[in-house]
Amino acid sequence: MEVAGPPSERFRSYNKWLKEKFGERVYKVIVDAGFTCPNRDGTLAVGGCAYCNNSSFRPPSAIKTDPIRDQVREGIEYIRKRFDAKKYIVYFQPFSNTYAGVDALRRLYTGAIDHPDVVGLAIGTRPDCIDREKIAMIDELAQRTFVSLEYGAESIYDDTLRRVNRGHDYAAFRRAVEMTRGRSIHIGTHLVLGFPWETRDQWLGMADEMSRVGIDALKIHHLHIVRGTALAAEYARQPFRVLEYEEYLGLLCEFIERLDPRIVIERLVGEAPFGLLVAPNWGRNKNDLVRDINRKFEERDVWQGSRNRTAALD
Ligand code: SF4
């Protein structure tokens, strides 16, 4: 579909979207409810996904299992002092945050939204840790507050999911999205670009698939190897190709061009604390990447969805 001209923003950024929705910047408070995941507790496996080191995606302040209300209160106090923040989304991030019975989950989530300055919940989980009963309960909460349910897809290719010991196939993700669609829940997804055995066409094909499947938001991570993972051990034995910065920028640009412009982009790059990162070490941060990707969009005169066949930016 031909689109008339570039929108004011070349991609639909999550922060801006939240600002429009809530009238001001909204900050995430990460909490740790003490979950594990079936890929670590022996239900499916004990080693976990080949790239997973949970320490790499939660701040030290969240590595604790104090009551959720206390974590929310302390997290809010900390962020408020630093940024003069007023509104917050409580983010259940580490491990699989729907991996418990429905009553326990209800108590947990309800405790998190008790605070008057909390305007929403974000719940990260695996697509095989959800069922209709849990979704119905989460949907009830979504009548009261904003709720984003984030499913880790990581790849749409079963061969990759097997190779990284993900413990579920792509059909599990499709089923989870299907069960969640048509409710008040905002559906988020995580994807990884850059597994060395996948091709550029396969990465770009994921943009087409994400545009079809019916998600609302997407977190895009480049494959980065962090210490303490099976992938890091493999890389130490036999280094494999990881994406260079310019290569990733070009790929990302084309990926976003093909992505349905209604999908909110929550993340453009993977991040790991410096001490944990093995490769690739680009020496650039997230802000550099956002600046450079915008520059690339302008140079190429493209934008999110300018090559997508399903919809135009509204
Ligand atoms: S990435 Fe998620 S599902 Fe995989 S082992 Fe880590 S916590 Fe479990």
Domain 14-300 in this protein, CATH class: alpha beta
| Cα 163 to middle of ligand 1, angstroms | 14
Instruction: Indicate if ligand 1 lies below 6 Å from the C-beta of 95.
Output: yes
Atom of ligand 1 nearest to the CA of 51: 1
- For 246, phi and psi rounded to 5 degrees? -65, -35
| Cα 264 to middle of ligand 1, angstroms | 23
- For 196, phi and psi rounded to 5 degrees? -65, -20
* Mutation pick for ligand 1 pocket among 46, 49, 166 (CB with most ligand atoms within 8 Å): 49
Instruction: Indicate if ligand 1 lies below 6 Å from the C-beta of 48.
Output: yes
Atom of ligand 1 nearest to the CA of 95: 7
Alpha-carbon distance 175 to 143, whole Å?
23
pLDDT number for residue 6: 72
Alpha helices of 125-264 — where are they, by DSSP H?
A: 132-144, 158-163, 170-180, 200-213, 230-237, 245-258
Yes or no: say if 308 and 261 are a contact pair by the CB < 8 Å rule: yes
Alpha-carbon distance 85 to 117, whole Å?
10
Q: Write out residues in the chain with pLDDT < 70, as ranges.
A: 1-5, 54-65, 309-314
Which residue has a Cα nearest atom 6 of ligand 1?
A: 52
pLDDT number for residue 230: 95
- pTM of this prediction? 0.93
Tokens 């580490």 identify what position?
94
Which residue has a Cα nearest atom 5 of ligand 1?
A: 48
- For 88, phi and psi rounded to 5 degrees? -140, 150
| Cα 95 to middle of ligand 1, angstroms | 6
Half-sphere exposure of 145 (CA within 13 A, CB side): 25
Q: Are strands 87-92 and 277-279 parallel, antiparallel or unpaired?
A: unpaired
pLDDT number for residue 2: 45
- Domain layout of the chain by residue ranges: 14-300
Neighbouring residues of 68: CB distance < 8 A, sequence distance ≥ 6 = 31, 33, 90, 108, 111, 112
Neighbouring residues of 169: CB distance < 8 A, sequence distance ≥ 6 = 158, 161
Which residue has a Cα nearest atom 4 of ligand 1?
A: 49
pLDDT number for residue 314: 43
Local structure of 166: helix, strand or coil: coil
